[in-house]
Structure formats: C-alpha cells, structure tokens
Amino acid sequence: ELKVEQNPLFLSMQEGKNYTIYCNYSTTSDRLYWYRQDPGKSLESLFVLLSNGAVKQEGRLMASLDTKARLSTLHITAAVHDLSATYFCAVSGGTSYGKLTFGQGTILTVHP
Amino acid sequence: DTEVTQTPKHLVMGMTNKKSLKCEQHMGHRAMYWYKQKAKKPPELMFVYSYEKLSINESVPSRFSPECPNSSLLNLHLHALQPEDSALYLCASSLSGTTQEQFFGPGTRLTVL
C-alpha cells in the first residue's frame, strides 16, 4: 500500500524567512503533485513533478523530486503572509489506476 | 472553459432525505473523481470514473451512489446519510484515468443533521 508522509504537519514562520516542507512516499510512483488549500476552499494545483531531479519554481515556492530517495521538497523563500495555507503533496501510481494518495498536509502560518 | 463546477455550494439534509451533488467540466477530460474531506484532513478518494465507467470504488457505503451520465457530468446521490458523513465533497477531473493531473472543483459543504 502506498503511503505518503509530510513533515512538519504544522509550520509557523516569520515573514522573510525560508523553510522547507518534506514529502516522503513508500513505493515507486509515476508522478508527484503539490496542492495548496485555503481554509474552506478547494485544492489549487501548484506543481506536477514527473521525473527524478525535476525542479519547478513559481514565485516564492520551489518544488523538487528525488525518486531514488522517494522524497519531494517544497521550499519557501522569503515567506509572506499570503502563503499561509495548507499544503498537500500527493502521489499517483501504486496499484490503483487513477488514484492519488495524499500526505497529511502541512498547515503553514506566516506571521508579520 | 478551464474549470470544474459543483452545485450546490452548501447542503443541509436530514438523515432520511435524498439529495444529489452535481459536478460538471467542459475541458474534455475523460476521468472524474469524488473525494470526501473532513476538517484538517487530506481528501479521501471515494470513486473514480474513467470514460464514463466506474473504475474505482474505495469501499464506500451504499448510501453514496455515484452516476456518470456523460463525459462532462458526474453526480453523487445521497440517501439515508449519517451525521458523520458531514464533510466537504470535492469533485475532480483529469484528462484520462491514468496518472494525469487532477483539477478540483470548489466543493460542496454537506451537513447531515
């Protein structure tokens, strides 16, 4: 069974600081996704990582994938309040066709 | 049209009611999904339809009944729900039923009294 673990689960940051969220998964996967969710809202797709060594950047967020280590990171640079949200990584593959397995989510709060 | 729409946004129902949730997309996607999300938890997959056929049912109780009338439309029929079924129900779609990126709708907030 495919398992996905994120850490930390809670992250309180000051504006302007850098931090990294980690996502580990248990078996070989086809793709890894990062989503953002604001309170009471739906999931917004941030990044799709397809292959080993993939790196994608959008604004203050950068995601990377190491398939050999089964690890993805979401790096936050110079955090701003608008980045406060819950971030999920999700992995596709495993035995169930079309199924995404999500990590527990990281609740990020950025303070002034 | 690049979005997934869901109606209603909010639904309150009693345990004896029958109601339906609706999801629609016009992106030409051939796979559609229902997820259930409880507060402060990740989404949990309920059903996957691929090319209008049910391909995954994650052992969901029969009080939830999915329907895919055509490639653009996905319904979730609800009957005799329990209070613990209260949650955010999310619909998603992807280009195909393989490992394609899933795009999520805004969700229906369901409360069962």
Answer left, alpha or beta for residue B71, where phi above 0 means left and psi between -120 and 50 means alpha.
Answer: alpha
Q: Among B99, B102, B111, which would you mutate to test the A interface (most chain A Cβ atoms within 10 Å of its Cβ)?
A: B99
Residues 6+ apart with CB under 8 A from B45: A99, A100, B33, B34, B35, B56, B58
The verdict on B66 touching A (C-beta cutoff 8 Å) is no
Minimal Cα–Cα distance from A37 to chain B, Å? 10
Q: Can you give the pLDDT at residue B98?
A: 64
Q: What's the pLDDT score for residue A99? A: 81
Tell me which residue in A48, A92, A97 faces B55 most closely, judged by beta carbons: A97
Nearest CB among A41, A48, A104 relative to B42 is that of A104
User: Tens place of pLDDT for every residue, chain A, 112 residues?
Assistant: 789 999 999 999 999 999 999 999 998 776 899 999 999 899 999 999 988 888 999 999 999 999 999 999 999 999 999 999 999 999 986 555 668 899 999 999 999 8
Residue closest to B28 by CA, chosen among B89, B93, B91: B93
Inter-residue contact B111 to B88 (CB < 8 Å): no
Does B109 lie at the interface with A, CB-CB under 8 angstroms?
Answer: yes
Counting other chains too, the contacts that A3-6 makes at CB distance below 8 Å and 24 or more residues apart are A3/A101, A4/A89, A4/A90, A4/A91, A4/A101, A4/A102, A4/A103, A5/A103, A5/A104, A6/A87, A6/A88, A6/A89, A6/A103, A6/A104, A6/A105, A6/A106
How is B39-84 classified by DSSP, letter by letter? TTS--EEEEEEETTEEEEE-S--TTEEEEEEETTEEEEEEES--GG
Predicted confidence at residue A96, as pLDDT, reads 58
Could you tell me which chain A residue has the CA closest to the CA of B39? Answer: A40
- Look at A31 and B99 and tell me if their CB atoms are within 8 Å: yes
C-beta separation of B94 from B31 below 8 A: yes
Question: Mean pLDDT in chain B?
Answer: 92
Q: Which residues in A lie closer than 8 A to residue B45 (C-beta atoms)?
A: 99-100
User: Is the predicted pLDDT of residue B97 greater than 70, yes or no?
Assistant: no
Average pLDDT over residues B72-98: 92
Nearest Cβ partner of B56 from A30, A98, A105?
A98
| Beta-carbon count within 10 A of A65 CB | 24
Amino acid identity at A34: W
The distance of A80 to chain B (nearest Cα, Å) reads: 22
